[in-house]
Amino acid sequence: MELQLQFGYGMMDHSRVLIRDWGGGTVILSPRDLNPLQLQQFADVIVSTPNGEVLLDPQFYLPYADHERLTSHKFWPAEYSTDGFWSGAEIRELIRKLVVLNTALRCKAMLLPGLYAERVDDDWLARQKLVIDEAGALTDFPLFVTVALGADAVRSDDQIDDILAAAETWEVAGVYLVCEHPRGEYLVTDPTWLANVLDLVAGLRLKNLDVVVGYCNHQMLALACVGANTIASGTWMNVRSFPPDKFRSQYDEEIKQRAIWYYCPQALSEYKVPFLDIALKQGVLSRMVPPESMGSAYADLFFSGVQPTSVGWSEQTAFRHYLQCLWFQTRSSRQSTFEDTADAHERALDVAEDLLATLQSVGVRGQLRDFRESIDVNRAALSVIRSTRGPVLRRKWSNL
Amino acid sequence: MVLALRCGERAPGAVGSLLITPQWLSQQMPDLSGLTPLGEGGQKWVFAGRHTQDGDVVIKLIKPSGDIERTRREILAVRQISSPRVPAVLDVGMLHSPWGDIIWLRERRVSGESVREIIRARGPLPKEGVLCLGLCMLEALVDAARVRIVHRDVKPENIMRSNDGSYWLLDFGIARHLDLSSLTPSAALGGPGTLGYAPPEQFRNKKRDLDGRADLFALAVTLVECISGRHPYRDGARDAPEVVRRIEGSPLVVPRIAWDPERRFSELVSSMGQRRVDCRPQDARQALEWMRELHSVFGL
């Protein structure tokens, strides 16, 4: 499984540095966070980096919302009304403009505009089909249909089944999937939600569709167990989980002061730096060192013997460390068989659980980013997949 | 062939005063001899006999009150399938009677027992029987899928074990041709099929979801019944709604099989018997490939 960068606020430098350090990679561009000129210039920088590639997320989730940055782009329709837009000419025009833009940006594939679905119904499915058909007639780009789902839609077996049934007729290379977390949670504590995301990805992959899952955090490493091709993640929390409200609000409203977190990859948890001081006091800090194989030197100073809060740990360092570790974890998440992949994920959960118990017992807590509440969620979701799809995934793994 | 019906003839089964007897039938169809009744259902009478040219045959007579369009589709289905696992329809015709038209079909007869009869008489099937049944039925379903036919009534009553040990799929009476419009009103609460074998998308009449994977589900249930001698959903159920609740609420439980310690066969059955369509093998062909591999594993 690969990690792509989900572009968000302040990610230009991170993207440049990480794509260079990784020897290549893909950035999913965000019109919401880049004005038209920035979009082009930044895409040029990434594409000119060795093995650097870009995709454009048109972010057409809530087109009736007047997000100022989105509406500044030429492709964005001047007016949008549900009745008129989907009748033919206007959707065709949108896609035509996106083809032009994707070409100019030198995207490697085209992510199609897709409406956010609070509920998957016949209208939504019909519009998906319309977008695919129109795009197929206009371009030779490999096409990825965007499936943007509300939390309740994800939790519904019937709606997931409706998507999978419809997907059998989608003439696309793949699906760009973004799923709202229930209750705005960063780490999801609803096993049904996660089980259904896994199931949806498994179903799509078994139909020979590639799957890119956007707006992920490390909890989505579980997607390796169902053959997901790619997860995308970024810096701030609003690119590590998909909140539809992000596409309603005004741009300035979102720039808020955030705490700086240290990601402990083996614990699958993040910690505010003062808790690393506690870990040092309690003699467990050494257990929070990232494995050398992760290749992240960004946090080395924490483990040099000095008090962690005295180290200059910046947002930039924190983000790069997180993405570096996640990049390694993602790339090593898929094994040669389904069983080995699922077993490896379960072992990672066991290791995290053991470490979290130790850390918690001495007062080192990740608070809202502590994975403790999600360990059994991932286990339950994986167990469901083993029961429902396991035998088929086992047989078809080498084809996925 | 147009044949006259003689008034006043007496026979078992009746539509009004119309009674069909072997004697009467042999008079209508002089090419047949040795006619014996095999049974009567809501829609038809069935006789076994010997045809001067075709040998051992089954004659099905559709009652005048029966559904003509369904019958036409059954004939169409079976003729299109052309499978070595499905008895061939040799000829069709109509008898005109004062009580209405009686469509008849003459099919190749498979001599043997139904799987239902076998289970009743001798309990669960042995390993070779289960594996052979599974393979033969999947071959039949692949042949049906090739011409876009869904059987919709796979169950032990409709599977015949012939004297040579192979298995045949019978009775396409409620088969659905996916390219033809449905005969079941969309508003109908339940689609055609037998409770306990039909998957949720069939008994909930979700036409959009119905394809050959419905038959895989029914076959999975049938295989579990063959393995254990018990129906996994119907046995012990109070009533029809409880059967429905069991199917929709619990996964198909495949019992431990002594000859399958690594549960390889069980995995195939479990996969075919998934409640959700998308979780089953993609089609009968994939299930058949899987089954063939298992035959090899089990040394058959």
Helix (H), strand (E), coil (C) string for B57-125: EEEEEECCCCCHHHHHHHHHHHHHHCCCCCCCEEEEEEEEECCEEEEEEEEECCCEEEHHHHHHHHCCC
As a whole number, mean pLDDT of residues B72-81 equals 77
The one-letter amino acid code at A106 reads R
Q: Nearest-CA residue of chain B relative to A206?
A: B282
Q: What is the pLDDT of residue B69?
A: 75
Measured in angstroms, the CA of A304 and the nearest CA of chain B are apart by 51
pLDDT digits (tens, 9 = 90+) for B116-139: 999 999 999 999 999 999 999 999
Instruction: Compare B193 and B4 and report the one with higher pLDDT.
Output: B193
Substitution target in A392, A393, A397, A400 with the highest count of B β-carbons within 10 Å is A392
- pLDDT bucket at B4, cuts 50 / 70 / 90: very low
Nearest CB to B278; choose among A203, A390, A395: A203
Residues 6+ apart with CB under 8 A from A91: A85, A130, A131, A134
Contact between B266 and B257 (Cβ < 8 Å): yes
**Tokens standing for B165?**
């040990």
Mean pLDDT for B78-84 is: 84
Looking only at the bridges linking them, the beta strands covering B100-108 and B55-62 are antiparallel
Statement: B22-108 belongs to CATH 3.30.200.20? yes
**Chain B neighbours among A 191-210 (CB < 8 Å)?**
199, 203, 206-207
Distance (Å) from the C-alpha of residue A391 to the closest C-alpha of chain B? 6
Chain A, residues 380-399, CB within 8 A of chain B, namely 387-392, 394-395
pLDDT of residue B3: 32
Contact criterion met (CB < 8 Å) for A203 and B209: no
- Contact list in B for residue A161 (CB cut-off 8 A) is 209, 276-278
pLDDT value, residue A272 = 95
Q: How far is B102 from chain A (nearest CA, A)?
A: 41
Categorize the per-residue pLDDT at B190 as very low, low, confident or very high, splitting at 50, 70 and 90: low
A165 has a chain B CB within 8 A of its CB: yes
Q: List Cα–Cα distances, A165 to A64, A225, B227, in angstroms.
A: 28, 22, 32
DSSP string for residues in A207-220: TT-EEEE-S--GGG
CB contact under 8 A, B267 and A206: no
Nearest to A32 by CA among A89, A85, A71, A84: A71
Full DSSP string of A323-340: HHHHHHHHHTS--SSHHH
pLDDT at B12 over 80: no
A12-21 and A315-331 are packed helices; what angle lies between their axes, rounded to 10 degrees? 40
List, for residues B221-279, the tens digit of each pLDDT value: 999 999 999 999 999 999 999 999 999 999 999 999 999 999 999 999 999 999 999 99
Chain B residues whose CB is inside 8 A of the A203 CB are 278-279
pLDDT at B177: 73
pLDDT band at B13 (very low <50, low <70, confident <90, very high): very low
- Mutate: best of B213, B279, B293, partner A, most A CBs <10 A: B279
The residue annotated as part of the active site, out of B153, B171, B215, B260, is B153
Question: What dihedral angle (degrees, nearest 10) is formed by the CA atoms of B43, B47, B52, B54?
Answer: 60
The alpha-carbon gap from B228 to the nearest alpha carbon of chain A, in Å, equals 21
Q: What pTM was computed for the model?
A: 0.91
Q: What is the pLDDT of residue B182?
A: 65
So what's the pLDDT on residue A285?
96
The whole-angstrom separation of Cα A107 and Cα A29 is 10
Query: pLDDT under 70 in chain A at which residues?
Result: 249-257
Residue of B nearest to A204 (CA): B278
Using CB atoms, which residue from B208, B278, B290 is nearest to A164? B278
Is B274 within 8 Å of A203 when comparing Cβ atoms? no
B153 an active-site residue? yes
**Considering only CB atoms, which chain A residues are within 8 Å of B276?**
157, 161, 388
**Token pair of B202 as six digits:** 């069939």
Q: What count of other Cβ atoms lies within 10 Å of the Cβ of residue B299? A: 7
Q: Please tell me the class of the B112-297 domain.
A: mainly alpha
Q: Does B217 touch chain A (CB under 8 A)?
A: no
Q: In whole angstroms, give the CA distance from residue A290 to residue A313.
A: 16
- Considering the domain A2-251, what is its CATH architecture? Alpha-Beta Barrel (3.20)
CATH 3.20.20.70 domain position(s) in chain A: 2-251
Mean pLDDT of B164-185: 78
Distance from CA of B282 to the nearest CA of A (A): 9
| Residues of B whose CB is below 8 A from A165 | 208-209, 277-278
Question: Dmax over Cα atoms in chain B, in whole Å?
Answer: 64
> What count of CB pairs under 8 Å joins A to B?
31
Find the CB nearest B271 among A164, A207, A392: A392
A contacts of B251 (beta carbons < 8 Å): 387-388
Closest partner residue to B277 among A161, A387, A389, by Cβ?
A: A161
The pLDDT, as a whole number, for residue B252 is: 96
Look over chain B and give the mean of its residue pLDDT values, rounded to a whole number. 86
**B208 touching A (Cβ < 8 Å):** yes
Q: Is A169 on the interface with B (CB under 8 A)?
A: no
The residues in B 281-300 lying below 8 A from A, measured between CB atoms, are 281-282, 290
Q: Where are the domains of chain B?
A: 22-108, 112-297
> Using the 8-state DSSP alphabet, how is residue A242 labeled?
B
Quick check: A258 contacting B, CB < 8 Å? no
- For residue B275, what is the nearest residue in chain A, using CA coordinates? A388
Q: Predicted ipTM? A: 0.88
**CB pair distance less than 8 Å for B290 and A389:** no
d(CA B113, CA B88): 18
